Amino acid sequence: PLDPAYPCARLNQVLDDAAPQLILCDAAGREALGAEALADLSVIDLDAATPAWAELPASDPDPRALGLTPSHLAYVIYTSASTGTPKGVMVEHRGMTNYLSWAREIYAPISSSVVSSSLAFDATITSLFTPLICGGHEHLVSKGNETENLKAELGLRRRLVKITPSHLDVLGQQLQSAGDASQVELFVIGGEALSSSTVELWR
């Protein structure tokens, strides 16, 4: 996954390293990557009036007939590059399946979640796919004013929100100041230390 909000240089660095055979791209993606980066790639335009898959069968192909196994890659996710060049981590289908099976068991039932992080961030997997394998759905928070948009989501009945402690603290203080309450059933908190003051605020 590539986030159009990332700098063009980083996106091109990832493309050079991953060397994909095919890219799914919309107008925002084309603008972020630039024509030069897409020149040598096969591109499926998601904004096309007649999509490339329009004539394909509606049923899924049989993975075994295609020679695919659980050890084939589900995706490649790139690190934040805080210590240098971004590094691609290859995630196999079996690893992703094991993780999502664990998440479904621990967090179930997941009827809905809120996705407020980039789709190019590995931790997004939990909130993006866990509800879907439980027959539920997720709400994508629009870009631009994530804090306000996420605060609005917290006032609605939601099963799961994955969030960092600092973000949780800011939202908790804002809700408290406004006299609002959260309807979220489960917060999955990670990425940094969780302070006792944040825990007490939410209690």
Q: Would you state the pLDDT for residue 5?
A: 87
Give me the domains of the chain, ranges plus CATH numbers. Answer: 1-55 (no CATH), 94-202 (3.40.50.980)
| pLDDT for the residue numbered 158 | 78
- pTM, 2 dp: 0.80
Nearby residues of 2 by Cβ (< 8 Å), 6 or more positions away: 11, 14, 15, 29, 32, 33, 120
Amino acid type, 154:
L
List Cα–Cα distances, 153 to 81, 132, 137, 180, in angstroms. 30, 18, 14, 12
Looking at residue 73, what is its pLDDT? 94
State mean pLDDT over 189-200. Answer: 92
pLDDT for the residue 132:
92
- Render pLDDT for 129-161 as a digit per residue (tens, 0 to 9): 999 999 999 888 877 777 788 888 887 777 888
- For residues 58 and 78, is the Cβ–Cβ distance under 8 A? no
Q: What is the mean pLDDT of residues 112-118?
A: 86
Above 80 in pLDDT, residue 167? yes
